[in-house]
Amino acid sequence: IADVDFTEPGRHNACSFIINEPQCVFRQIFESTLRQRRITVENTIELISIESIKRCVAANIGVSYLPRFAVAKELECGELIELPFGEQSQTITAMCAHHAGKAVSPAMHTFIQCVEESFVAG
């Protein structure tokens, strides 16, 4: 990890990038930024769950790019470390939507309430 640098343009990092599927917004942001900076990694490992990604990174198998809320506990206890990536923190807007003309099921209503309580700034 000491030799990994995602800020220096044109650099090759001899590490694995561990992330979920190609449609993952975090993966798209990370890979797009690396292309802009002409930075490469050794290989990409795709896993299904964020928890398995965190375990692999903690075991020094590679690096990942995940939302802070997903790794806050591990960062706080020192299980994971944050590597420099850019001058500013990036933010991603999450949206929760449903069809206005359709009935909202009790389960969907509960889900919307949970999202609002967890993510809406108050």
Better pLDDT: 105 or 97: 105
pLDDT 10s digits, 76-92: 999 999 999 977 667 77
For the chain, the domains span: 12-77
Q: Which helix (H) or strand (E) holds 13?
A: strand 12-19
Q: What is the mean pLDDT of residues 62-73?
A: 93
